[in-house]
Amino acid sequence: MTVFEKELGELKEKILRMGAVVEAAIRDAVASLVERDSDLARKVIENDHKINALDVEIDEECIRLIAIRQPRARDLRFITTAMKITTDLERMGDLAEDIAERAIELNEEPILKPYIDIPRMTEIARGMVRDALDALVKGDTELAMDVIKRDDEVDMLNVQVFNELLFFMIQDPSTVSRATRITYVSKYIERIADHATNVAEMVIYNIEGKMIRHLTPSQKQ
Amino acid sequence: MTVFEKELGELKEKILRMGAVVEAAIRDAVASLVERDSDLARKVIENDHKINALDVEIDEECIRLIAIRQPRARDLRFITTAMKITTDLERMGDLAEDIAERAIELNEEPILKPYIDIPRMTEIARGMVRDALDALVKGDTELAMDVIKRDDEVDMLNVQVFNELLFFMIQDPSTVSRATRITYVSKYIERIADHATNVAEMVIYNIEGKMIRHLTPSQKQ
């Protein structure tokens, strides 16, 4: 194994580590809402700087590898893709922070209804994040395609949550402030799944050079 | 001027051109809603492939420049930043397409109310996109900071639009389907402004190497 191969392996590991931290932030943010645990929410907010630091660290490492190793073709494409992917991961971290902020607000008021669809959406979104990064590291386009397909489920659940909460608001306008905040949480999770989809599309683009990023949903099937 | 300097200049021009196309798509998408012009909306949807093609073209050009010219330090950082920025521009194009889709749906039903805040939000967001790219090309961090500040105005208008439409829905549930679609449009514009903010943050990071991307809003002041 050359030095550069070793460095590339370490870069991949670092990306997976960042993914694991982001995934944990998403899990904890939603748990802080479902379990009404505002201390946990505050921990998510405080820990966001770790995700940001990993983003900068990976970015710097990529720049260094390009400058010093002068990688060509496949490796260069992998490194530039990695730089874009960590930007998506960093934004997922910001969304986890947004969820935690809404959780703190919601935990101060009486519970509106038990959370059912939101934990379901979260599980799907977290699986998408994990698999998109696995697909990157293993170069597995089929897994990446599968991630893209799952995005529809999250979108549907988000619409379902929105409609249900709208019904609450119309029936009883005193629920508006709480219900609105819950629709925001649902929307944040949907956006996390969108970022995972973006990552998966970039993985495919990176491996196959195909314009999957820019196919219409029906063409993707 | 070296060949590489000329190529870098062309790259900057291409990014500005992509920005202008994206800005026009945003303008037309919102115009198709405000002026109830579904033909214009369909034009926005059809033209999205041009934005996607520009994204791929700029990406390929960046990869080529890195591989062939082996840029160092400042130039390398500019090129990798450019690759990330076009991803944001491409996503703004997708959001313009989403606005156009909602416009077609809304244009088929009676008008709910005249659009006032949405055109205002759009003007601010478009200005943010334009100035963020100007800041990139001119290396103007002050302009980039100004873009970041304007994001708050868009966020506030989005909340205002949401609250107003919620009031409609509560007063008259028959407005739900239309009002919901308009809240989506407002949200899409807010996300366009978020992408412009991301671009501005990357511009500052690119120029100053500062961690502006990761400061809290209060620290940014």
Q: Look at B72 and A67 and tell me if their CB atoms are within 8 Å.
A: yes
Instruction: Determine how many CB atoms are found less than 10 A away from the CB of residue B150.
Output: 19
What pLDDT, on a 0 to 100 scale, did the predictor assign at position A74? 86
Element (H, E) at A3: helix A3-34
Tell me if chain A has a CB within 8 Å of the CB of B169.
yes
What pLDDT, on a 0 to 100 scale, did the predictor assign at position B210? 53
Q: Is residue A216 scored above 60 in pLDDT? A: no
Q: Look at B66 and A52 and tell me if their CB atoms are within 8 Å.
A: no
Split at pLDDT 50, 70, 90, the class of A27 is very high
3-state secondary structure A99-125: HHHHHHHHHCCCCCCCCCHHHHHHHHH
B194 CB-contact burial (10 Å; exposed 0-12 / middle 13-18 / buried 19+): buried
| Range A28-51 average pLDDT | 97
What pLDDT, on a 0 to 100 scale, did the predictor assign at position B221? 37
Distance of CA A44 to the CA centre of its chain: 15
Tell me if chain A has a CB within 8 Å of the CB of B166.
yes
Q: Look at A67 and B90 and tell me if their CB atoms are within 8 Å.
A: no
Q: Is residue A197 scored above 60 in pLDDT? A: yes
Q: What is the DSSP letter of B216?
A: -
Among B12, B87, B145, residue whose Cα is nearest residue A201 = B87
What pLDDT, on a 0 to 100 scale, did the predictor assign at position B213? 54
Residue numbers in B near A162 (CB within 8 A): 180
Among B93, B91, B84, B87, residue whose Cα is nearest residue B22 = B93
Copy the structure tokens of residue A185.
């949480």
What pLDDT, on a 0 to 100 scale, did the predictor assign at position B74? 86
User: Tokens 């607000």 appear where?
Assistant: A105
Residue numbers in A near B180 (CB within 8 A): 162, 166
What pLDDT, on a 0 to 100 scale, did the predictor assign at position B125? 98
Q: Look at A67 and B77 and tell me if their CB atoms are within 8 Å.
A: no
Q: Look at B169 and A173 and tell me if their CB atoms are within 8 Å.
A: no
pLDDT averaged over consecutive 10-residue blocks of chain B (221 residues)?
A: 92 96 98 98 97 94 92 89 94 97 97 94 98 93 96 96 92 91 96 96 81 50 37
Residue numbers in A near B173 (CB within 8 A): 170
CB-based contacts of B27: which residues, under 8 Å, 6+ apart?
B122, B126
CA-to-CA dists, residue A21 to A126, A151, A191, B174, B190, angstroms: 11, 21, 18, 44, 27
Which residue from A minimizes the CA distance to B210? Answer: A56
What pLDDT, on a 0 to 100 scale, did the predictor assign at position A211? 52
**Can you tell me the distance from the alpha carbon of A186 to that of A169, in angstroms, rounded to the nearest whole number?**
16
Which residue from A minimizes the CA distance to B54? Answer: A214
Please name the member of A67, A72, A213 whose beta carbon is closest to the beta carbon of B67: A72
Copy the structure tokens of residue A111.
């519970």
Q: Is residue A217 scored above 90 in pLDDT? A: no
Tell me if chain B has a CB within 8 Å of the CB of A80.
yes
Q: How many beta-carbon contacts under 8 Å exist across A and B?
A: 73
Min Cα distance B182 → chain A (Å) is 14
Q: Look at B62 and A52 and tell me if their CB atoms are within 8 Å.
A: no
What pLDDT, on a 0 to 100 scale, did the predictor assign at position A46? 97
What pLDDT, on a 0 to 100 scale, did the predictor assign at position B218? 45
Q: Are B201 and B193 in contact (CB under 8 A)?
A: no
Please name the member of A49, A77, A166 whose beta carbon is closest to the beta carbon of B169: A166
| Range A96-111 average pLDDT | 97
Which CATH entry fits the domain spanning A3-220: 1.10.10.10, 1.20.58.220, 1.10.3720.10, 3.30.360.10? Answer: 1.20.58.220
Give the start-to-end residue ranges of the domains of chain B: 3-220
Split at pLDDT 50, 70, 90, the class of A1 is confident
What pLDDT, on a 0 to 100 scale, did the predictor assign at position B141? 94
**Can you tell me the distance from the alpha carbon of B20 to that of B37, in angstroms, rounded to the nearest whole number?**
21
Copy the structure tokens of residue B110.
């009676």
CA angle A89, B134, B54 (to 5 degrees): 60
What pLDDT, on a 0 to 100 scale, did the predictor assign at position B208? 76
Is B72 in a helix, a strand, or coil? coil
Q: Are A198 and A139 in contact (CB under 8 A)?
A: no
Residues A112-162: pLDDT tens digits?
989 999 999 999 999 999 999 999 989 999 999 999 999 999 999 999 999
